[in-house]
Chain A
Amino acid sequence: MKRTLSVLVENKPGVLTRITGLFARRGFNIDSLAVGETENPLFSRVTITVVGHDQPVEQVTKQLHKLINVIKITDLEPAERLERELLLVKVKATADNRAEIMQVAEIFEGRIVDISPETAVIEATGPRRKVEALIELLRSMNVVVELIRTGKIAVRRGPKLT
């Protein structure tokens, strides 16, 4: 099962290494990772997606807690979280298929952010499922030249803090 861990950490050098190192040596594969400063510049938010069963995930969470620079960890359930991923995908877009590409981007509420005689770059955001659906469609059209996506970020819905 995929889990989304939202980890609040001190914004200090080396913190990310401590976190990723811990995952590696406890045998966890990080599925995606996103890091950025929070509303308070002293803290950063690390959003990690991992695949794992309850007990090992609980164990790795406890181990994460032991890192001195880790302040808080929230295991966000699907229903309580709002999640986004950002995709930048460069596709073949010539005069022949440009209209089609634009249409696909539009359906996925994406934007064309760069264009050349042979290519276009689509920017799309959304929950992972949506981003993956777009990728799948583009792949089936055989137009993907380069694909770059961020790790997932997530926030808790409603007034309660993540």
Chain B
Amino acid sequence: MKGSYILLEALKQEGVDVVFGYPGGSVIPLYDALYDFDIRHILTRHEQGAAHAADGYARASGKVGVCVATSGPGACNLVTGIANAYLDSVPMVAITGQVRTSLIGTDAFQEADITGITLPIVKHSYLVQKVDDLPRIVREAFYLARTGRPGPVLIDVPVDITVAETEYDPSCPPDMALPGYKPTVKGHPKQIRAAAAALAQAERPVIYAGGGIISAGASQELRDLARFAHIPVTTTLTGIGCFPEDEELSLGMLGMHGTRYANYAVTHCDLVFAVGVRFDDRVTGKLETFAPGAKTIHVDVDPAEISKNVVVDIPIVGDARWVLSAILDELKKHQLAVDRHLPWMAQIAQWKEDHPQVVRQDPGGEIMPEHVVRRLWEITKGEALITTEVGQNQMWAAQYYLARYPRQFITSGGLGTMGFGFPAAIGAKVACPDSLVIDIAGDGSFQMNIQELGTAVAHDIPVKVCILNNCCLGMVRQWQELFWQKRYSQTCFECQPDFVKVAEAYGAEGYRVTGLDDLDEVLRESLSSDGPAVIDVPVKQEANVYPMVPAGGSIHEMLEEEG
């Protein structure tokens, strides 16, 4: 069998039924073989779109996302998408073509050392040297991508490997050879007991939950534990949805643009129970004042995250799902008085009452961006699958679209990649065809991968892009306003396309909101239509995201809008 066929057979063995990609010289044999396979191929309009779509697919489905690109520029165009998946621990396999083995290292046409280029942003990578290795490499790549701390794995396949012939028996899976890879699943029993004891004794506990809960499939375990022990939960940006945000125990998001009550709770708590998080600077602010009086329990599958930024008291390395359920079992052995932290819960309720996450209205009648997000939430009854672009739109989406389910809120957290949301929405919609998928976008970010309108239309992937159009790069503009003396260097667009016409030119639907009066009507109409749609919503340019912790500041010292 030819290498290209073996590669695709091996993908089938891993349960792959859809890949996102873009052909090119070095992958012609692979695409030729694809012609004979029942693997759905989504042809994007740019390789970056393919990588983000595979990422969105993986986050929405929990499966490994697959993207394909040709050698050289094709592979290089995947780089941002691979880095994005790496920073947010998303399981992905990127397959790149490479020039033929004999030409490697000669600066051949469309040659790039993609294994070298991606070295710091992959969990692992392979440059295939023998066609016989292909089945093992594919199996290992998928295993590595989805187990332990998930992440992207690159397989670089020289074109001669894909046309080489060898024996292959799909019914006989190859042995993996990963002697150095043994992710820890079960937490240490002594640490589990210590964690349960600390949770039982705490008077002011807070759960700080992150994306690790979602990738471990541990949302139910988290809910069970939080409800059983009656502990409030705050989540990171990538953890949104792991705990229902409309539940009383939810504190919403913490950190730079978190809720005041989440940040106050973390600052005043006596125990931080951190699960699947990495104490990122956008969460902790100034480390010295982050949960200053608290004991810390930190559960993570990656030992390197333990005590990386914050030295913790009770580290537990293991799979979040396993560890949370073990801690809950242990906790049930303790006598937990229902009223043991009543004053704490009362304090939190008071903070929530004093500092609610309000939807502002503009006295001048312009549309406030958070109002749009809140209306989207209400109209969709909180059931839509949301992706976001990056910047202000992302923060408003995080603050005002209260997610209830894991994998409902998909956003580029670690890398903060503008242009992520739209292709990710396409991938998410492919994974969840029955969900209403909305990309909450900004006019800047959307234009970074606007060409994927062609993909959505051609493959009939009816995602909705709701542009909070403030005619500027809002988040940078906000920093310039607050910290750079309103010197708006290069952040206000002098020229914008007519997004409605752009959508229509691609064959998608274009909608424009003109003001508060027709907002609801246009949103309803566009969301209920059958096709991909772009909704251009002009919002107040001066609207900033609040509350806000200045970079490096203490998270309990938050800026509010003046006046």
* Residues on A facing B (Cβ under 8 Å): 9-10, 13-14, 17-18, 21-22, 25, 55, 58-59, 62-63, 65-72
- CB closest residue in chain A, given B119: A21
Q: How far is the CA of A17 from the CA of B115 in the complex (A)?
A: 11
Instruction: List, in ascending order, chain A residues with CB within 8 A of B178's CB.
Output: 68
Please state if B116 and A62 are interface contacts (CB–CB under 8 Å). no
B8-25 CB contacts (< 8 Å) to partner A: none
> How many cross-chain pairs have Cβ atoms below 8 Å apart between A and B?
40
Instruction: Give complex CA distance A62, B149 in Å.
Output: 13
Partner of A17, one of B119, B303, B304, B308: B119
Contact status A66-B119, CB under 8 Å: no
B 90-122 binary contact with A (CB < 8 Å = 1; else 0): 000000000000000000000000011001100
Given contacts A10-B179, A14-B127, are A65 and B119 in contact (CB under 8 A)?
A: no
Contact A65 B124 (CB under 8 A): no
B144 proximal to A (CB < 8 A)? yes
Other A-B pairs, 11, CB within 8 Å; known A21-B120, A68-B178, A71-B180: A21-B119, A22-B120, A59-B304, A63-B304, A65-B304, A68-B123, A68-B124, A68-B144, A68-B180, A69-B180, A72-B180
- Closest Cβ of chain A to B82, distance in Å, is 15
> Which residue of chain A lies nearest to B183 when distances are taken between CB atoms in the complex?
A66
Expressed in whole angstroms, the minimum distance between the Cβ of A10 and any Cβ of chain B is 7
**Shortest beta-carbon distance, A59 to chain B, in Å?**
6
Q: Is B35 an interface residue (CB 8 A)?
A: no
Q: How many residues of chain B get a CB closer than 8 Å to chain A's CBs?
A: 20
Contact of A18 among B119, B129, B304 (CB under 8 A): B119
Residues of chain B with a CB closer than 8 A to A72's CB = 180
- In the bound complex, do residue A66 and residue B115 qualify as a contact, i.e. CB atoms below 8 Å apart? no
Bound-complex Cα distance A71 to B177 (A): 12
What CA separation (Å) do A123 and B301 show in the bound complex? 49
- In whole Å, how far is B299's beta carbon from the nearest beta carbon of chain A? 16
**B123-160, CB under 8 A of A: which get 1 and which 0?**
11001010000000000000010000000000000000
Min distance, Cβ B525 to any Cβ of chain A, angstroms: 49
Q: How far is the CB of B49 from chain A (nearest CB, A)?
A: 28
A113 vs B431: C-alpha distance when bound (angstroms): 69
Using a CB-CB cutoff of 8 Å, which residues 165-219 of chain B contact chain A?
A: 178-181
Closest to B123 in A: A68
Q: What's the least CB distance linking A33 to chain B, in Å?
A: 17
**Which residues of A sit under 8 angstroms from B303, Cβ to Cβ?**
62, 65
> In the complex, what's the smallest C-beta–C-beta distance from B547 to chain A, in angstroms?
32
In this assembly, does B302 line the interface, its C-beta being within 8 Å of a C-beta of chain A? yes
Chain B minimum-CB-distance residue to A66: B304
Contact (A66, B116) CB under 8 Å given A59-B308, A71-B179: no
Question: Residues of B contacting A68 with CB < 8 Å?
Answer: 123-124, 144, 178, 180-181
